[in-house]
Structure 1
Amino acid sequence: MASMVVIGLGLAAAGFAGRQALRVAPQVATKMNEILKTMSSETESIMSGKRYYKGGFDPTMTKKEASLILDVSANAPKNKIKEAHKRIMLINHPDKGGSPYIAAKINEAKDLLDNK
């Protein structure tokens, strides 16, 4: 008898959960469509090259190239340069699977912009 009550309560809980899921489904679908549209527009801008610099490194690093690497302005304050360097190095550090060459270029960019 007690097991029948437990089974009944379980079925009732499953029914209420299903009912709530069906009520929320249209809102979730709308949000997911918005997120997918945002993601596709970001992907298009990345693929079209609007967001990233295409090309290799110059033989001698310039302030323009250093600012492109760190994604800061050429005359950014030192704290902005330090924050940008830390953020980019966390992603590209050789201990985390990044390239030692890229890490060296990131450090060179920081040094160049720090010594204005």
Structure 2
Amino acid sequence: MATPVILGVSAVAAAVLGRSMIKRGVFLGKGAVEQWAKGGFRAKMDRKEAIAILGLKDGPQLRSRLKDAHRQIMLANHPDRGGSPTGTVILVYGLLSLYRYRLFV
């Protein structure tokens, strides 16, 4: 009779402890949770938001890292692997490609 209660309390305690450890960045590094973008996407995406979605920094190496960052995010968010729809990531890559070729002002 007491065993299910003990198991339940243990599970709740483990969940609370795990959540606090994730928030403090024990598993992913300090401040990893705060690096995630807060809120949703803007109605019209701009260059700054597109770069932030890919996790890149604006600078001279942006062009060389664009394709690799896009590929990594597409693989991580692939629907066959349980990820989310990839429409936003495709939009980001397209927008930054237009900037790359200076077709978008």
TM-score normalised by L of structure 1: 0.55
Unaligned runs of 5+ in 2: 1-24, 100-105
Equivalent residues, number: 74
What is the root-mean-square deviation in Å for CA atoms of aligned residues?
Answer: 2.1
Larger helix proportion of the pair: 1
- By relative contact order (CA 8 Å, sep 6+), the higher-ranking structure is 1
List aligned pairs for 1:1-116, cutoff 5 A: 40=26, 42=28, 44-47=30-33, 49=34, 51-74=35-58, 76-100=61-85, 103-116=86-99
- SS, match of residue 80 in structure 1: helix
Unaligned runs of 5+ in 1: 1-38
Which of these two proteins has the greater Rg computed from alpha carbons? 1
Deviating 4+ runs (over 3 angstroms):
41-44, 74-79
C-alpha distance in 2 between matches for 1:81 and 1:93:
18
Identity of aligned residues (%): 35
Per-residue deviation, 1:78: 3.3
